[in-house]
Amino acid sequence: MKYTPLLLFLFLIACGGETEELVIPEDIEEKRELLKEKRTALNAEKEKLAKLEEQVAELQAAIQEQDPAFVKKSLVTTMQVEPTDFERFTEVQGTVKTDDNAAAVSEIGGRITRLTVKEGDRVRKGQLIATIDMEGIDKQRAELQTALGLAEEVYERQKRLWDQNIGSEIQFLQAKNNKERLEKSLETLNFQQTKANVYAPISGSVEMLMTKQGEVAAPGVPIVQILNTKEVKIVAEVPETLLRSVKTGEKVRVEFPALGRTDTIKITQIGRTINPANRTFSVEAELKNPDGELKPNLLAVIHLNDFSAPNVITLPLNRIQQEVTGKSFVMTVGPDNKAQKTYVETGESFNGEVIIKSGITPETVLVDKGARTVKEGDVLEVEKG
């Protein structure tokens, strides 16, 4: 073709020959001067390249007028627009907690003579945990029994005399009161003896030993801490802006990053007050934990659905382009299989997808791969396979 030499000439101009090797001078002022020269040369080359692109475009248009078969086609892929359901989620951090947490305590003071568990052991409700030394109470009991025996003998003698109208009434009442007082004291000691054994108040795992065998246990002071993690709950503080998006009974997705695990559970409780310090409210979701994998204070990420739109057109964000004026557009397949710039109005976005409020319909065919390299009016060649 007679146009080939001219095109070859333009190509050679664009290439411009080999670039000379850069020699960096030592002096700082010479470096600055050299940098200035190179920037000037770079700007000149950019102007040349822009001019060459204009000339190439003019030549292609001129050739196409005389030779309609000469058409530059852009190889692209296309995608059909289809309506879908759109959902947006907000991530909120929470922690694993359990309410089934209790301590095994002694109701009386004394030295622990036997401790039947260690940390990590599984225990059942009512299982023996520890035995308290009752030697002191045994001695008190023996003394009381001796005193009670004497008091009963005195009372019987006073009663017989009183029945015969011998002696004073006050002596009889004092003997009776002394006997009954000792009986009550002995009853109290007998009851205390039943508290020698300490039992597990709940079923679970021994989380911590608070008092060791051989040490003295004080009344009401925990000996062991028992934790039941068969059932746990996820607790999170949610911003008040999501108040309308969270409902009791709603299913949410919970992710445990440390375990690489995801569960879908229901919200069981929503706080009734807003924390004025951070403008949040509490949310709880219960979860079965039969294998004990979920530990208290484990980090959990709750995905709350804060926006939903059914049957809408969505596109990947990277398919949306913008003009310098800020207008958004996509490249579509227009008449005669030519690229066409179609302006769109975008809406909510999430996870790389954005709602298209207007501009395209389900019948629109979009340019997929190659959308950023084609220009409006380019003839498209759709890649198959």
- Structure tokens of 85? 């359901």
Q: How far apart are the first and last CA of the chain?
A: 34
pLDDT tens for the chain, 385 residues: list them.
434 444 444 444 444 545 567 888 888 888 888 888 888 988 888 888 888 878 876 786 677 677 665 556 678 888 888 899 999 999 999 999 988 888 888 888 888 888 988 888 888 888 998 888 876 676 777 778 788 778 888 878 878 877 787 777 888 788 888 888 888 887 777 777 777 888 888 888 888 888 888 888 888 888 898 888 888 999 999 999 999 889 999 999 999 999 999 999 999 999 999 999 999 999 999 998 888 889 889 999 999 998 999 999 999 998 899 988 889 999 999 888 888 899 999 999 998 999 999 999 988 999 888 888 888 888 888 876 4
Between CA 111 and CA 334 the distance in angstroms is 91
Contact by Cβ (8 Å): 275, 281 = yes
Q: Please give the pLDDT value at position 3.
A: 40
Tallying the residues shown for the chain, one arrives at: 385
- Where helices occur in the chain by DSSP H, the ranges are 4-15, 28-66, 135-163, 169-193
Q: Please give the pLDDT value at position 167.
A: 74
The DSSP bridge partners found for residue 83 are 313
Between CA 180 and CA 185 the distance in angstroms is 9
Contact by Cβ (8 Å): 253, 303 = yes
Contact by Cβ (8 Å): 212, 221 = no
Contact by Cβ (8 Å): 223, 83 = no
User: Which amino acid belongs to residue 128?
Assistant: L
CA distances from 310 to 68, 88, 251, 290, 313 (A): 47, 12, 18, 37, 9
